[in-house]
Structure 1
Amino acid sequence: MVDAPDVVLRALREAPPDQLAEAVDRAIRSALGAVRTDVFVADYRISGLWPMLDPDLPAAGFLACHTVAQRCFSSQQPVRDGAEDGACRLYLPLTVWGERLGVLLIELPSAPGPVVAGHATEIAASLAVAMRAAERETDRYRRARRRERLSMAAEMQWDLLPGRSVAHHAFHLAGQLEPAYTVGGDHFDWSLDGDRLTVTVLNGEGSGLAASMLTAVTVNAMRNARRSDGGLVEQAELASDTVFYQHRGHRHVATLLLELNIGTGRVRAVDAGSPHVLRLRGTVVEPVTLEQQLPLGMFAETRYELQEFQLAPGDRLFVVSDGVWAAEPAGQEPYGQRAMARSLRGTRLQPATEAVGTVMRELHAYHADSDLRDDAVVVCLDWHGPRERNGG
């Protein structure tokens, strides 16, 4: 039992990419004496967790497991749950670099000691890394996440995303797209490189496949410049020129480009007719005022200028698209006018991963749960401050 994590890691390395859940089930049963395991995967809306090994779990059993698994997923902490026969169920978060994938369930004949519990935590970490890598080679985990069929535009958008969250000692970052199964043009992207975190948020123009294709061209142009060591200005200008020469000014993309120095909290920005930026400091929500420049692709050879602002340790930034800010269901005032600030303040005790879901749920409630009329993107960035200030 001492080498249980090694046994499971070897099983994961030898398994086909679509059989990780089965491989880890066999290895855990053998190495830890488990009587049952399952892998719960979060859906695209992060509204539920769904079993991969036992999809026909009876309703009562599913609801009981799902409730505890959801608590584990939300808290990102292991949770124990006793069974009537004396068995103990361990629920462990499946998370890699802050990206929440789901929950691993391990049912043992009795309550585990600290050594077995530690082994179980290591196993969950190894499984999460393997699942993230396997997504390039199989569709199984993507199929498990979808509760309905994606539109073609949404298929492109989800494949283009870097992930839905990332964690670092200096920051936490999360984003969410809605409507999850039919989103068209709104998008976000990010990349961490040393002490530099680059975040871009696009308020896509139009709807459907045409909007998704425009966003894909824009995102990949910015990535091309960034991966060639280009700064924010070069990223914006290459993307703008690419879109203009493709569409001759008839299509353009409002975009915000941010670059955070994670050691100092200094933020560089290019506001290309951008989505809206709001800062939550304590209980106060206030807009970050930037000078808007032309959207990407509106004119040939548009040139952009950098702006800067400073974050304080503990600051939270929200970036929202017009689908959030300007939502006006049933003749109500725009969501961004007052209701959104209340929603943002309500997230201050939640991690960024939960905060984006809260804002989206509040947006749906503002629409009286009717379908959103426009794509909506919410990105939440928490800057904790440099390590030395946090005593780390």
Structure 2
Amino acid sequence: MTSLLRRTHMTPPDLLPDAVDEAIVHLGARATVYLADYTQTLLVAMARPSIQPGPNLTIDGTLGGRAYRMLVVQTAVVDGEAQLWMPIIDGVERLGVLKIVVADAGSLEDRAFRRQCWWFAHYLGHLVTVLDTYGDGIDAVRRQHPRTLSAELIWQLLPPLTSGTDKVIVSGRLEPSGSVGGDVFDYALSDTAAEFAILDATGHDLQSGLAAAAALAAYRNARRQGHGLFEQTESIHRAVQDAFEGRMYATGVLGRLDLGSGRLRYLSAGHPSPLLLRAGKIVKTLDAGRRPLLGLDMREGNIAEEMLEPDDTVVLYTDGITEARDEQHQFFGIDRLTDFIEREVSEGTPMPEMVRRVCRRILDHQNGVLQDDATMLLIQWTTTGQAYLEPTR
């Protein structure tokens, strides 16, 4: 880790694989860095100068993909090569996998060696996130498909898709990743609270992206000034109304979860009602706390409250999820969404992977072509910590 720190101190993002090569030899191994593409369908090997990169791996159906999906270390001996596949994470944000090759297959089951590799991969995850802001090298690996201008705008505004503390985990996803228009989400975590919002501006073009950007900026500005949910909502309303003079509007849900008590306060503006997931079942629709659409000349509304139990999850989504239509014009619907989530929970699927699978299922329902943006955001409250997310099993 010291070698990796020293080597990356003044390193551009595209030379990260070289730094990994130099550092991993101290563990008696060699390694290949694979990063997940933005569609979360492929693991793409980072190229090294004069060395041909390995082939891309599918996230579904490969050993490396399983390590990524389930946050579980994978081992194998393939053609005499002893391999350890270690998830690369930044906090709880999945970024890819590190393929580690050792000379002695016995090292694969050495707990001390695996622990060292986990710390190495975890620190590598931090480096990937930091170095990504310095240039386009890491983005070039992950961007396997072109983006529209609107999608470029939205992606630059998003927080990490997954984040968490020992009291809460938040995970979200936008589809289609290359042409999303007016959907956006945001959150802010502290030791005492999790604040969050999901917003959906009308349309699917650059104007939608601009409206979503204005709404998000207004939300962050009000939140960071310490304003409550009602003031945050009114700030979004005024920003959209002033900027677009009634030509655009947005729906949204804003909330604040007290991490000490589980008290959830929320307000919904013309948006699909959140779902409450408890003990593996959708037990309730959170349909109180309503107000009109943001950007229209109507401001009345009220804030609702719900007391969560430990390990409850609040499920937020845009109408592009439930109103996705197949070739027979059948909506995906709330019942399919509920059944899918409950099945994934029963199978022990980690929350970030469940979000990925839901969005992939929506794409499959529409044969890979969405008629509307499909966005999901999950917030889980816990009093027992997130130790199970450490990929050491």
TM-score normalised by L of structure 1: 0.89
Q: Partner of 1:329: helix, strand, or coil?
A: coil
For 2:315 and 2:119, locate their aligned partners in 1 and report how far apart those are by CA, in whole Å. Answer: 33
RMSD: 2.4
The residue number in structure 1 matching 2:351 is: 352
Q: Partner of 1:156: helix, strand, or coil?
A: helix
Name the aligned partner's letter for residue 299 of structure 1.
D
Structure-to-structure mapping, 1:1-392, within 5 angstroms: 5-29=1-25, 31-34=26-29, 36-53=30-47, 56-57=52-53, 67-85=62-80, 87-111=81-105, 112=107, 113-285=110-282, 286-299=284-297, 302=299, 304-348=301-345, 349-367=348-366, 369-385=367-383
For 1:52 and 1:351, locate their aligned partners in 2 and report how far apart those are by CA, in whole Å. Answer: 26
Name the aligned partner's letter for residue 336 of structure 1.
G
Q: Per the alignment, do residues 164 and 65 of structure 1 end up closer, same or farther by CA in structure 2, a change over 3 Å counting? A: closer
Q: Partner of 1:203: helix, strand, or coil?
A: strand
- Compute the displacement of 1:370 (Å): 4.2
Name the aligned partner's letter for residue 77 of structure 2.
G
Q: Is the 8 A contact 1:313 1:383 kept in 2?
A: yes
Q: Is the 8 A contact 1:252 1:298 kept in 2?
A: yes
Q: Is the 8 A contact 2:45 2:54 kept in 1?
A: no
Q: Is the 8 A contact 1:252 1:295 kept in 2?
A: yes
Q: Is the 8 A contact 1:265 1:385 kept in 2?
A: no
Q: Per the alignment, do residues 48 and 63 of structure 1 end up closer, same or farther by CA in structure 2, a change over 3 Å counting? A: closer
Q: Partner of 1:105: helix, strand, or coil?
A: strand
Q: Per the alignment, do residues 37 and 339 of structure 1 end up closer, same or farther by CA in structure 2, a change over 3 Å counting? A: same
Q: Per the alignment, do residues 64 and 169 of structure 1 end up closer, same or farther by CA in structure 2, a change over 3 Å counting? A: closer
Q: Partner of 2:324: helix, strand, or coil?
A: coil
For 2:317 and 2:60, locate their aligned partners in 1 and report how far apart those are by CA, in whole Å. Answer: 34
Q: Per the alignment, do residues 114 and 315 of structure 1 end up closer, same or farther by CA in structure 2, a change over 3 Å counting? A: closer
For 1:123 and 1:284, locate their aligned partners in 2 and report how far apart those are by CA, in whole Å. Answer: 37
- Any stretches of 5+ residues in structure 1 without a counterpart? none
Can you list the C-alpha shifts for 1:282-316, whole angstroms capped at 9, x where unaligned? 3532322224201221127x355321112112322
% same residue: 28
- Any stretches of 5+ residues in structure 2 without a counterpart? 389-393
- Compute the displacement of 1:264 (Å): 1.5
Q: Is the 8 A contact 1:343 1:358 kept in 2?
A: no
Q: Is the 8 A contact 2:265 2:304 kept in 1?
A: yes
Q: Per the alignment, do residues 63 and 311 of structure 1 end up closer, same or farther by CA in structure 2, a change over 3 Å counting? A: closer
Q: Per the alignment, do residues 38 and 233 of structure 1 end up closer, same or farther by CA in structure 2, a change over 3 Å counting? A: same
Q: Is the 8 A contact 1:12 1:24 kept in 2?
A: no
Can you list the C-alpha shifts for 1:128-185, whole angstroms capped at 9, x where unaligned? 1111111111111111112211111111111111011112222222111111111101
Name the aligned partner's letter for residue 377 of structure 1.
T
- Compute the displacement of 1:336 (Å): 2.0
Name the aligned partner's letter for residue 384 of structure 1.
T
Q: Is the 8 A contact 2:13 2:138 kept in 1?
A: no
Q: Is the 8 A contact 2:60 2:66 kept in 1?
A: no
For 2:111 and 2:289, locate their aligned partners in 1 and report how far apart those are by CA, in whole Å. Answer: 55
The residue number in structure 1 matching 2:391 is: none
